[in-house]
Structure 1
Amino acid sequence: MIQYIKRKNLDVLKYDTCIENSIQSRIYAFSWYLDLVADNWDVLVLNDYQAVMPLPWKRKFGLKYITQPFFCQQLGIFSLHTIFKEMQERFLNKIPKKFLKISINMNSNNFSSAKMIEKKNYILSLDASHDTIFKSFSKGRKHAVKVGERNQLEIKEVSLELLIEIKKDNYNYMPSPIYYFSILRNLSKYMIDNNIGYVLGVFKDDILLGGVFLLKQKNRITYLFSSFTQFGKKLKGPTFIINKILEKNANTNLIFDFEGSNIKGIASFFKSFGAKKENYYQINLTKYFSQ
């Protein structure tokens, strides 16, 4: 039986245990993560938490709608045992009709259908030596690594606030910037305090060129946020720091999750590290219910 359970009535221990041990486990679905990124969220629960589907939602003009939160690439169904397409359909049909607009990303282990929009992620397995990983880089990416090395770039831990300032100064479009950065700050504080995340900067002669905010959970390192100055990009700072992270974590069971993208230029950059495409799917249930 699938039940709709409000966040306040959730058995958090059972829910997080399901997420932790699920076949589809992703950091985005833990209760503490959703508490940080979602305005509100409830859950569809199968039996005694054998499978769950978190539903993040907002309210506008008194109307409720489900929408994917910032910094939360993949949600969907998380299960302790293999589920089939029929069970996924049962979950989707249990989403309450009170949500008038529904747009949510499933995870890459869930099923696709003709009613879903394909989205792209890129991942790289680190279960080989760095030399082997480096060989899979494109010719241009190998050159960019050498440019960074010739410029004697350095990596140090930095404050996220410095990267936020670089983002504000060097990027033209930001979605709801005040809200976006507020969530990012809350995430970074929690992650760093709990040794789940870390922020690294790239420097040239003590000048900060940019950096990245990474999450580490189970066997996955997630490239959650980055920002670089134009000078930093010219000196190949983004390539330099990603390569150093891959080098440090080579010969492990970890996966480096680039987190996208559907934007052609960014996707090409991630792919050039030898990353493999991982499809996941977005559901628009407004259309789904109308068919």
Structure 2
Amino acid sequence: MNDQIELIAGNKIDQTKWDHCIEVSTNGLIYNTYNYLNAICPIWAGYVVNDYEAVIALPYKRKLNIPYWYTPPFIQQLGFIGTINEQTQQNILIQLIKKHPYGSLLFNHQNTEITRFIHAEPKPNFLLHLNQPYPEIYKGYSNELQQHIRKAARTNLVYYKDTPIKKTIDLYKQFHRHQLKQVTEFEFGNFFNYCEQAASFSQQCFTRSILNEEKEIMSTALLLRDNKRIYNIMNTTTPAGRATAANHYLFDQIIQEFSEEQVWLDFEGSSIPGVQYFYQQFGTIKETYFVYHYNHLPFPLNLLK
């Protein structure tokens, strides 16, 4: 019996059924929840299999009146979630490419078969399970990291839990703006609004920072949380903070705070070798997610980017 497949506009989706699929699926991450998608993506749709047995979220935009699927900022993994066979995945992929002949798609770490079929580009992510006591996790740190933490501890740095969300976002924009040329102020505003609401109503967003003796921020992180992971969405270290290993100390303190909880610390990954090396020092495991870009537009539209 063939699966029933339906493409539904975001504002027509049954939120309760959608979020239930995300919550009970091991690859259903926070980026796929209904409220997060609504906050981050002005327009999105979702393919639904049968009665929300499986879903895939598809943000889209228009350029020159041509609709296309795109990868929004502050979202790392989307893709197929729930109970779905490979043939149904392929059928949906054929449909969505036919609907929008140009696009970029995000797939999650469990979508290995379909991404192999389409030759999607693998991307690295790094995870650390926090279910052990802190001393056990600490044993997995590299010797170099342990030295950095001891150095930081001697400089009277303070672990601080009340940095305003806006301050953390502003610092991120200040020190990373050259990497964020594609992210608009409107998109930053949408993300800030989501974080404010998530912090107020569900404690799913919070900040952690390292301050010096003058109470200046040396390093700060904005984190999201669900029942599976704590997500490192934004992380910024000042020049003074780098000199004191403040970021090493920050993540060590985060790990210590949440140790023995049944969640993963999701460092969010990076293709930059130095950043990867930093994450690996904590004893992380590597997880692979995927990005797929295609252009089936006719000439000369296929020259557009």
| TM-score, structure 2 normalization | 0.88
Which amino acid in 1 is paired with 2:253? K
Give the distance between the partners of 1:203 and 1:172, measured in 2 at CA: 22
Letter in 1 for 2:164: S
- Counterpart residue number, 1:204: 212
Structure 1 residue 234, shift from structure 2 partner: 1.3
Note closer, same or farther for the CA distance 1:288–1:129 as it changes in structure 2 (3 Å cut). farther
User: Does residue 153 of structure 1 match 2:154?
Assistant: no
Identify the residue that residue 84 of structure 1 maps to in structure 2: 85
After TM superposition, list the pairs within 5 Å mapping 1:96-135 onto structure 2: 97-111=98-112, 112-113=115-116, 115-135=119-139
Letter in 2 for 1:255: W
CA drift at 1:75 = 0.2
In 2, Cα distance between equivalents of 1:170 and 1:10: 38
AA aligned to 2:207 is V
Matched, 1:223 2:232: yes
Bigger mean CA deviation after superposition, 84-93 or 44-53: 84-93
Q: Is the 8 A contact 2:29 2:228 kept in 1?
A: no
- Alignment equivalent of 2:265, drawn from 253, 256, 272: 256
Shift of 1:94: 2.4
Runs of 4+ in 1 over 6 A off after TM superposition: none
Partner of 1:233, secondary structure, is helix
User: What letter matches 1:34 in structure 2?
Assistant: L
Which amino acid is the alignment partner of residue 132 of structure 2?
A
- What secondary structure does 2:31 align onto? helix
Residues 159-193 of structure 1: CA distance to partner in whole angstroms, max 9, x if unpaired? 12222332344335123352342233123212211
Is it true that 1:28 corresponds to 2:20 in the alignment?
A: no
Could you tell me which of 223, 227, 236 is aligned with 2:245?
Answer: 236
Which residue, out of 174, 194, 198, partners 1:191? 198
1:127 to partner: Cα distance: 1.8
Q: Secondary structure at the match of 1:198?
A: strand
**Alignment deviations for residues 11-66 of structure 1 (CA, whole Å, 9 cap, x no partner):** 12211111111232100001100011112100101011111111011111211111
Distance in structure 2 (CA, Å) of the matches to 1:222 and 1:237:
19
Q: What's the secondary structure of 1:215's corresponding residue?
A: strand
Structure-1 separation of matches of 2:262 and 2:168? 29
Whether the 8 Å contact between 1:164 and 1:227 is mirrored in structure 2 is: no
5+ residue gaps, structure 2: 299-305
Residue 113 of structure 1 aligns to a residue whose secondary structure is helix
Could you say what secondary structure the match of 2:101 adopts? strand
Q: Does 1:10 align with 2:13?
A: yes
* CA distance in structure 1 between the aligned counterparts of 2:103 and 2:173, rounded to whole angstroms: 30
Distance 1:10 1:171, change over 3 A: closer
- Counterpart pick for 1:178 among 178, 185, 208: 185
My pick for the range that moved more, 186-195 or 269-278, is 186-195
For residue 60 of structure 1, what is the amino acid of its counterpart? K
Structure 2: distance between partners of 1:13 and 1:288? 36
Amino acid at match of 1:94: Q
Structure 1 position 87, deviation (Å): 2.8
- 1: CA distance between counterparts of 2:147 and 2:166? 31
Deviations 1:56-110 (A, max 9, x none): 111112111111111110000111x3x3333321221221523232111101011
Alpha-carbon spacing, 1:288–1:99, altered in 2? closer, same or farther (3 Å): closer
Residues 4-83 of structure 1 mapped to structure 2, 5 A cutoff: 4-79=7-82, 81=83, 83=84
Deviations 1:133-178 (A, max 9, x none): 1111112211111111111111221112222332344335123352
The one-letter amino acid paired with 1:149 is: A
237-246 or 9-18, larger mean C-alpha shift = 9-18
Paired residues in the alignment total 287
**What one-letter code is carried by the residue in structure 1 that aligns with 2:258?**
N
2:20 & 2:151 partners in 1: Cα distance?
Answer: 45
Does the 8 A contact of 1:54 with 1:75 survive in 2?
Answer: yes
In percent, how many aligned pairs have the same letter?
25
Distance 1:239 1:233 in 2: 9
> Post-superposition shift, 1:287?
6.3
Q: Report if the CA contact (8 A) 1:52-1:77 is conserved.
A: yes
SS at match of 2:232: strand
Look up the match of 1:164: 169
TM-score (norm 1): 0.93
